[in-house]
Structure 1
Amino acid sequence: MTPFKDLQALALDVDGVLSDGRLYYGNNGEELKTFNIRDGLGIKLLQQAGITVAIITGRTSSIVARRAQELGIEHIIQGREDKLSALRELCAQLDLTIEHVAYMGDDLPDRKAIIAAGLGATVADGSDDVKAVADWCSTKAGGAGAVRDLAEIWLKTVGLWDQLVEQQA
């Protein structure tokens, strides 16, 4: 039995996971974030494999909503510091038990969700306290392909990677 076999959904933190965790502000007060295109493809590949991808973030940002829309992510929970509570709400929306959902975060607000999830994942530059409780840690930093790294290992482990790669060509 693999840790990925029974998983049906992935919930992702944004700052420090989908982005590098830095906040950029323009002269007119606008907030800017950078996203890794490879993470986006990893998300799309998971979706093609029938895995629901969701976002749970402590901040509220129209940039996150836009990126989620570009990637076809329908479940977005913003402005929630209590990530475990938000993860439980997501599970109820998806009619899944928490054991069937993976969660990827990088810092202390994510820790309880990482512990509770069916697979708790983190990024290479995640906090030591999060790394200590995570089931899986990427070799890549947040915003630098960590989500793609997770998607690849997940899809390879369940035997879908080669088929999805062929569909991309």
Structure 2
Amino acid sequence: MTNALYSPTTMPSDFVIALARNVRLLILDVDGVLTTGYLDYDAQGEMVKSFYVQDGLGIQLLRQMGIPIAIISGRDSKVTAARAKDLKIDFLMQGAQDKGAALKQLMIDAQVTPQQCAYMGDDVIDLPILRAVGFASSVPNGHVLAQRAAHWVSSSSGGAGAVRELAELILFAQDKLNSAYAAYLYDEQHPNLDIM
């Protein structure tokens, strides 16, 4: 299975591709996955977070290809809520200290099985979900126990392209990557230009 649009640093194993093929819901942690994990505060004590724009496009592409997105975060944050609204995240669960319980409720709400869920987490609080889902993923700057529980670890760090990498992997495994990028690659003025 090859695709010019998909060129990861290391090609995932057939096992990982098979797991990604079954994904019907992508669940993401926030701090350390959608962000670098650093928490900055302004002079008024308000939390400031930075989100990587390419991760955002990866999320949009998944949603356009029929794969909903959920966030389960242990922290309750107005910044996360604003970003989730901006990206039209399908399910947002904040303040979830028991992530295993949050996953059970989410699967009921989304009408999916554990095997149909993918999750990306970076720390020990994520272990209950990483152990439960069909496709568990982590980041290279994540805690070693989160990485050990994962089926796949991105080459990009959290907050710096890890989610985009995961999105492209899922779309590639499901033969949806070309369709996801088609609107961006086709040029009406130069229809014979081979961008791929």
Paired residues for 1:1-169 under 5 Å: 2-169=18-185
Contact preservation (8 Å) 2:29, 2:73: yes
Cα offset, 1:153, TM superposition: 1.1
Matched residues in 1 for 2:41 and 2:61: separation?
32
Cα offset, 1:168, TM superposition: 2.5
| Displacement over 2 Å in runs of 4+ | none
Percent pairwise identity: 41
Q: TM-score, normalised by structure 2?
A: 0.84
Greater C-alpha radius of gyration: 2
Contact preservation (8 Å) 2:31, 2:37: yes
Contact preservation (8 Å) 2:171, 2:177: yes
Q: What is the DSSP-based 3-state SS (H/G/I as helix, E as strand, rest coil) of the residue aligned with 2:119? A: strand
1:120-150 alpha-carbon deviations (Å, 9 max, x no partner): 0111111111111101110011100000000
1:97-132 alpha-carbon deviations (Å, 9 max, x no partner): 111111110000001201111100111111111111
Matched residues in 2 for 1:137 and 1:20: separation?
15
Aligned AA for 2:25?
A: A
Contact preservation (8 Å) 2:23, 2:170: no
Matched residues in 1 for 2:59 and 2:31: separation?
16
Matched residues in 2 for 1:42 and 1:74: separation?
14
Structure 1: gaps (5+ residues): none
Matched residues in 1 for 2:183 and 2:170: separation?
17
Q: What is the DSSP-based 3-state SS (H/G/I as helix, E as strand, rest coil) of the residue aligned with 1:4? A: helix
Provide the aligned C-alpha RMSD in A.
1.0
Q: What is the DSSP-based 3-state SS (H/G/I as helix, E as strand, rest coil) of the residue aligned with 2:136? A: strand
Aligned AA for 2:80?
A: V
Matched residues in 1 for 2:18 and 2:35: separation?
28
Cα offset, 1:85, TM superposition: 1.2
Contact preservation (8 Å) 2:28, 2:121: yes
Cα offset, 1:74, TM superposition: 2.7
Structure 2: gaps (5+ residues): 1-16, 186-196
Contact preservation (8 Å) 2:34, 2:159: yes
Task: Name the stretch that deviates more: 36-45 or 151-160.
Answer: 151-160
Q: TM-score, normalised by structure 1?
A: 0.97
